[in-house]
């Protein structure tokens, strides 16, 4: 017994790959062989493995069910709903008989002769005994499922029989006409359903396979499953459906084998991986261009730095005023006079030097036209590809020209200023860039204590053969140059902002400025151009033999359908139409 059980376990394990520990890709990559399909035990084992895999990987359900279609066809009990309906004959009848109270309707599923009488069974445990002379006729009774198994012409005949019987037996006219009306309505619905199915079938078969680089295995699987549903509804169209499904299944098996379709041919191995990488790069590029936002700190200075700036601007003047006040306390007239001079110099000197700080600012950055932010986004997308490990190969990516207006359009549309709750100095509102020969000017529109200011950073640029050097920026507020002490906090904040922007974009690792002129900058790739791999010597491709036209599937020759009612009608003493036999 143990040996028998062990053998069964080994056979089941070898019959189909277990879904446990097996990925959907592994399962789909091994289609069932003709030998597998011819072995019922292997078919059942593989179907069980597929069901288990569907539960563990529901996202691949359509592909797994499409994979299982040949297995379900080969399964012993794989009859479709339509086939089961067509195999089932009409088994319920209305027997019209004359009782002591008059004509009645007796439901029947079978009858048998017992001496000179007939025993009628209604299928629910109730039997009745009738003399054949009292049986007026019999009519097939159709349930909802029976309409799919009968031809519309046969249904019309049955309806006509009900109407004839209603006239022949006036006492039963009302129920017979009601049943005829029900059959007529159900027949109309069935005709419409079959017409819709035929239209769906014609549409499905006419849908020729058009593969593209965007075709996905799930799309092909859904198409096959739609055809399989039609196959179950219209069993007579099975050969036509299987023929139309063949190219879709062949394409699916190519996908399941790990191949990629590039729009013209199937790729595998290194070629397939290269195509997939290109698709990922394209998707990443499109996403960056559509969604990229540069985040900038809204605070122009860190907390506490404004005190240093004010000391640098007004410190000398304030010191002169303080010393002058002290000298006014002296007894010597000469010292008091010097005190007045120091106070006047301190006050009027600060006003003379820094008067523009108290006036309305004028934006010095000017850009002709609105510009195109997409030019800058293309540069950032190139830098992102380098970050993903793909070098800049083409010339248009290795050397890019940026217009001043394009940069300013990018700063207007793609820069977000993040709020700083601890900010106590100037708050950034917008940025602008102006390009000159040998220098770059960056303007910040800021607000502080309810007043507007323009802070300009003039950055010297020295373009060398292999590197680009940037000097210390010159800081101006409303056009007034700051001293080194006053400018230091702005310089530190400016450099921190530049490093943060470089980290978000990866720009500085990919490009450097190679030429600078008024209104325009030329960027060049930092890395040398990769040496192109020599193309392999092409192998002459043999001319493929012409694909033979598919052989049309001949329509099956219809076989005469036996009358399923004849046996019961004969027992009841009726002719094949359910009418009493005429005496000779």
Nearest CA-CA partner of 302 in 564, 491, 168, 56: 491
Q: pLDDT tier at 19 (50, 70, 90 boundaries)?
A: very low
Helix (H), strand (E) at residue 352: helix 333-354
Q: pLDDT tier at 89 (50, 70, 90 boundaries)?
A: very low
Say whether 181 sits in a helix, a strand or coil: helix
According to DSSP H, which parts of 355-483 are helical? 373-387, 395-398, 404-414
According to DSSP H, which parts of 171-262 are helical? 173-206, 217-233, 238-256
Q: What is the average pLDDT across 12-38?
A: 71
Q: pLDDT tier at 228 (50, 70, 90 boundaries)?
A: very high
* Percent share of the chain, pLDDT over 70: 73
Cα(566)–Cα(584) distance, rounded to whole angstroms?
Answer: 20
pLDDT of residue 342: 64
Is the pLDDT assigned to residue 32 strictly greater than 60? yes
Q: What is the average pLDDT across 97-106?
A: 87
pLDDT of residue 564: 66
pLDDT of residue 220: 92
Cα(2)–Cα(166) distance, rounded to whole angstroms?
Answer: 69
Nearest CA-CA partner of 491 in 301, 357, 313: 301
Q: Which of 144-158, 269-283, 350-364, 460-474 has the highest mean pLDDT?
A: 460-474
Q: pLDDT tier at 422 (50, 70, 90 boundaries)?
A: low
Cα(101)–Cα(115) distance, rounded to whole angstroms?
Answer: 24
Helix (H), strand (E) at residue 112: strand 110-114
Is the pLDDT assigned to residue 491 strictly greater than 60? yes
Strands 415-418 and 294-297: parallel
Beta bridge partners of 415: 294
Q: pLDDT tier at 265 (50, 70, 90 boundaries)?
A: confident
E strands of 318-371, at which residues? none
pLDDT of residue 362: 63
According to DSSP H, which parts of 57-130 are helical? 61-67, 69-74, 81-87
E strands of 449-542, at which residues? 451-463, 468-470, 474-477, 480-481, 511-517, 520-525
Q: What is the pLDDT of residues 196-220, one digit of tens each?
A: 999 999 999 998 888 887 888 999 9
Is the pLDDT assigned to residue 518 strictly greater than 60? yes
Determine the Cα angle at 278 with ends 274 and 281, to 5°: 140
Report residue 475: phi and psi, to 5°: -105, 130
Is the pLDDT assigned to residue 137 strictly greater than 90? no
pLDDT of residue 327: 63
Is the pLDDT assigned to residue 415 strictly greater than 50? yes
Is the pLDDT assigned to residue 171 strictly greater than 50? yes
Nearest CA-CA partner of 182 in 233, 136, 146: 146
Tokens linked to 57: 């990987």
Q: pLDDT tier at 6 (50, 70, 90 boundaries)?
A: very low
> Which has more pLDDT, 220 or 388?
220
Cα(74)–Cα(57) distance, rounded to whole angstroms?
Answer: 24
Report residue 76: phi and psi, to 5°: -60, -40
Cα(500)–Cα(296) distance, rounded to whole angstroms?
Answer: 8
pLDDT of residue 151: 78
Other C-beta atoms closer than 10 Å to the C-beta of 414 total 15
> Structure pTM?
0.52
Cα(226)–Cα(43) distance, rounded to whole angstroms?
Answer: 22
Is the pLDDT assigned to residue 125 strictly greater than 70? yes
Is the pLDDT assigned to residue 556 strictly greater than 60? no
């Amino acid at each position: 017994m143990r040996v028998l059980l062990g053998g069964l376990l080994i056979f089941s394990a070898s019959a189909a790959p277990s879904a446990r520990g097996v990925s959907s890709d592994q399962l789909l990559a091994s289609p069932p062989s003709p030998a597998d399909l011819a072995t019922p035990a292997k078919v059942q084992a593989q179907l069980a493995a597929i069901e288990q895999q569907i539960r563990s990987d529901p996202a691949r359900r359509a592909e797994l069910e499409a994979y299982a279609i040949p297995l379900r066809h080969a399964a012993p009990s794989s009859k479709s709903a339509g086939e089961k309906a067509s195999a089932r004959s009409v088994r319920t009848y209305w027997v019209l008989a004359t009782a002591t109270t008059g004509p009645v309707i007796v439901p029947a599923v079978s009858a048998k002769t017992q001496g000179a009488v007939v025993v009628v069974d209604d299928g629910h445990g109730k039997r009745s005994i009738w003399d054949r002379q009292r049986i007026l006729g019999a009519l097939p009774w159709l349930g909802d499922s029976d309409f799919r198994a009968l031809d519309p012409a046969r249904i019309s005949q049955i309806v006509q029989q009900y109407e004839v019987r209603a006239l022949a037996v006036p006492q039963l006219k009302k129920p017979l006409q009601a049943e005829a009306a029900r059959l007529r309505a159900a027949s109309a619905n069935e005709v419409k359903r079959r017409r819709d199915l035929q239209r769906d079938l014609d549409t499905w078969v006419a849908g020729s396979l058009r593969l593209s680089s965007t075709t996905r295995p799930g799309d092909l699987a859904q198409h096959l499953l739609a055809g399989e549903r039609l196959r179950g509804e219209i069993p007579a169209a099975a050969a036509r459906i299987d023929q139309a499904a063949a190219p879709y299944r062949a394409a699916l098996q190519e996908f399941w084998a790990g191949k990629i379709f590039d729009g013209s041919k199937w790729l595998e191995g290194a070629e397939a991986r290269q195509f997939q990488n290109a698709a990922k790069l394209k998707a990443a590029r499109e996403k960056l261009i559509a969604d990229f936002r540069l985040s900038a700190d809204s605070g122009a200075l860190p907390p506490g730095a404004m005190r240093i700036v004010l000391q640098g601007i007004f410190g000398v003047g304030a010191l002169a005023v303080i010393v002058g006040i002290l000298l006014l306390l002296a007894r010597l007239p000469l010292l008091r006079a010097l005190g007045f001079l120091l106070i006047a110099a301190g006050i009027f000197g600060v006003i003379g030097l820094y008067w523009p700080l108290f006036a309305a600012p004028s934006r010095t950055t000017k850009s002709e036209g609105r510009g195109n932010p997409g030019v800058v986004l293309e540069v950032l997308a190139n830098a992102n590809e380098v970050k993903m490990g793909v070098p800049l190969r083409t010339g248009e990516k290795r050397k890019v020209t940026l217009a001043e207006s394009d940069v300013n359009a990018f700063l207007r549309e793609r820069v977000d200023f993040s709020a700083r709750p601890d900010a106590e100095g100037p708050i950034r509102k917008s940025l602008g860039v102006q390009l000159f020969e040998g220098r770059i000017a960056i303007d910040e529109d800021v607000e502080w204590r309810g007043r507007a200011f323009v802070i300009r950073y003039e950055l010297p640029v020295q373009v060398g053969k292999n590197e680009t050097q940037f000097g210390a920026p010159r800081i101006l507020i409303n056009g007034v140059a700051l001293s080194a002490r006053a400018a230091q906090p702005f310089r530190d904040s400016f450099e921190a902002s530049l490093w943060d922007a470089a980290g978000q974009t990866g720009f500085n690792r990919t490009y450097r400025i190679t030429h600078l002129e008024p209104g325009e900058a030329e960027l060049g790739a930092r890395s040398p151009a990769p040496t192109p791999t020599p193309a392999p010597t092409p192998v002459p491709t043999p001319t493929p033999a012409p694909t033979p036209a598919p052989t049309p599937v001949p329509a099956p020759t219809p076989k005469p359908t036996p009358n399923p009612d004849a046996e019961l009608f004969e027992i009841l003493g009726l002719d094949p139409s359910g009418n009493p036999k005429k005496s000779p």
